[in-house]
Amino acid sequence: MTKTPFVTKDRLVSICEHFPTPFHLYDEAGIRRNMEAVRDAFAWNPGFREYFAVKANPNPALISILGEYGCGLDCSSATELILAEALGMRGDKVMLSANDVPAEDFRLAAELDAIVNFDDISHIPFYRHVAGPIPKTVSCRFNPGGLFQLANGIMDNPGDSKYGMTEEQLPEAYRMLSEAGAETFGLHAFLASNTVTDEYYPALARILFALAVRLERETGVHIGFINLSGGVGIPYRPDKRANDIRAIGEGVRRAFEEILVPAGMGDVAIFTEMGRFMMGPYGCLVTRAIHEKRTYKDYIGVDANACDLIRPAMYGAYHHITVMGQANGPDKSGSPAVRTYDVTGNLCENNDKFARDRALPEVEIGDLLVIHDTGAHGYSMGYNYNGRLRSAEVLLREDGGCRLIRRAETPSDYFATLDVQAGVHARLERIAHGEAAQGVR
């Protein structure tokens, strides 16, 4: 089986005439269609809001598209809070969901009047000490411990997770927050990552809805929202079925009406933080074959590396690859696999491989390769090992045009935080004004 890229070969060849590989390419039309589907799936809940997880993709141009639909931002650091403020978001449009939180993160959240999602009960006095009064609207993160299971088996292991409070700690946390001035409370949990099943959110919702009823009755606080967090995944492999967000929304609605409405809590708003689902399939890493090596295996070397996409190296994660070759027709995504390759980058690490023993069409030097599903946790997890520089980001507009939304790094960027000698500065200036203009990364 195969995946079809959201861009044709001819269009991609044209884009590469303006933007040298490698670069991440994003599909504006796909992002908008998906956002509209999410909005419609939860339209039954008047207070619904998607808080896009900035960590998944912090590019302001992409976040702004979601902002047009009323999305908020889920931030996990002071830097992400700064980005939110720069985009004109503050107050209830911003949520800080962080763990092991530094003082400066809490202080900035207080300045923005952001919703704080407390990860641990000990963070409540810490926040008061470093940031001042408790916000009027707060949330607490729940961890049920043990294993989280659905009918098709174990999904994840919350008991081994560093996130969240126990059920026994939550009532005390709510009372502490209430006594400190909080008025509206939320409940949040993240129990499984990248689930490809329509049952995850409804099952999680039932757990949180029932817990919310118990907490409101026990503590007397007003629970204004329940945050289902992220975990709704995408099918990285072509033989996997994609989640149906409408079926997911309907499953949550049924749980809402069966549990919250009879308890007199029909005004509770539903929040989500679906970073991967919102962006993952609508980005790809475009790279070019630059070397072929035949030793004990057949290798294709490309001009991207794990600095551009670390997931395969870090997790052994699968990302589908389409060969958009020059010599084998308009789109080789449907061509029969004829060779088995390791597709590698140029880092001095043997795990710098986008694919291992992958059956692909015959790859020729110069062929363009599309590495799918990099719209979330792709560029955002980039780094600079070996002094390799992170690539550009390009937006494929709805009208077919393209826009550079982040330029590629240059050596000047890499050395900018260092106190280096004058000779290095001079060399950097020559690169910045000469070689870099010719496309040197």
Q: Give the SS3 label for residue 280.
A: helix
Same domain, 404 and 258: no
* pLDDT for residue 275: 95
CATH of the domain at 400: 2.40.37.10
Q: Report pLDDT for 338.
A: 87
Q: Is residue 139 domain-resident?
A: yes
Burial class of residue 407 (count of CB atoms within 10 Å of its CB; 0-12, 13-18, 19+): middle
Write out the two tokens for 352.
């710098």
Question: Domain containing 308: what range?
Answer: 283-409
pLDDT over threshold 90, residue 185: yes
Q: Are residues 174 and 55 in the same domain?
A: yes
Say if residue 389 is in the same domain as residue 302: yes
Q: Are residues 225 and 136 in the same domain?
A: yes
Q: Residue 387, class by beta-carbon neighbours within 10 Å (0-12 exposed, 13-18 middle, 19+ buried)?
A: exposed
Q: Are residues 173 and 242 part of one domain?
A: yes
**What confidence tens digit (pLDDT) does each residue in 385-434 have?**
999 999 999 999 999 999 999 999 998 899 888 876 666 767 767 766 66
Phi, psi of 76 (to 5 degrees): -125, 10
Distance (Å, whole) CA 204 – CA 194: 14
The predicted-structure confidence for 244-303, as pLDDT tens digits, reads as follows 999 999 999 999 999 999 999 999 999 999 999 999 999 999 999 999 999 999 999 999
Which residue numbers are catalytic? 348
Q: Say if 21 falls within a structural domain.
A: no
350 and 319 in a common domain: yes
Q: What is the pLDDT of residue 369?
A: 98
Query: How many CB atoms are located within 10 Å of the residue 55 CB?
Result: 19
Q: Is residue 2 part of a domain?
A: no
pLDDT in tens, 188-220: 998 888 999 999 999 999 999 999 999 999 999
Output the pLDDT for position 160: 77
Tell me whether residue 335 is exposed, middle or buried, using C-beta atoms within 10 angstroms of its C-beta: 0 to 12, 13 to 18, 19 or more.
middle
Residue 158 has pLDDT above 90, yes or no: no
For residues 64-84, average pLDDT: 97
Q: What is the pLDDT of residue 356?
A: 97
- For residues 73 and 95, the answer to whether their CB atoms sit within 8 Å is yes
Where a domain ends, among 218, 245, 280?
280
What burial class does residue 196 get, using C-beta atoms within 10 Å of its C-beta: 0-12 exposed, 13-18 middle, 19+ buried?
middle
User: Is the domain of 241 the same as that of 354?
Assistant: no
Judge whether 435 lies within some domain. Answer: yes
Which one of 280, 309, 343 terminates a domain? 280
C-alpha triplet 60, 66, 72: angle, nearest 5°? 90
**394 shares a domain with 302:** yes
Please check whether residue 3 lies inside any domain of the structure. no
Token pair 């389409």 in the structure block, residue? 322
Do the domain assignments include residue 14?
Answer: no
Amino acid identity, residue 63? I
Least confident of 115-124, 258-267, 317-326: 317-326
* Residues 116, 135 contacting (CB under 8 angstroms): yes
Predicted confidence (pLDDT) per residue in 136-149, tens digit: 999 999 998 877 76
Same domain, 202 and 315: no
> Do both 148 and 41 map to the same domain?
yes
Structure tokens at 255: 């749980």
Does some domain include residue 8? no
- Give the Cβ contact number of residue 326 at 10 Å: 12
Is 11 contained in some domain? no
Q: What is the per-residue DSSP string for 14-63?
A: HHHHHSPSSEEEEEHHHHHHHHHHHHHHTTTSTT-EEEEEGGG---HHHH
Element spanning 128, H or E: helix 123-131
One domain, residues 257 and 314: no
Structural domain ending residue among the three candidates 246, 280, 314: 280
pLDDT score recorded for residue 211: 97
Distance of CA 158 to the CA centre of its chain: 20
- Are 65 and 132 in a shared domain? yes
Count the domains in the chain.
3
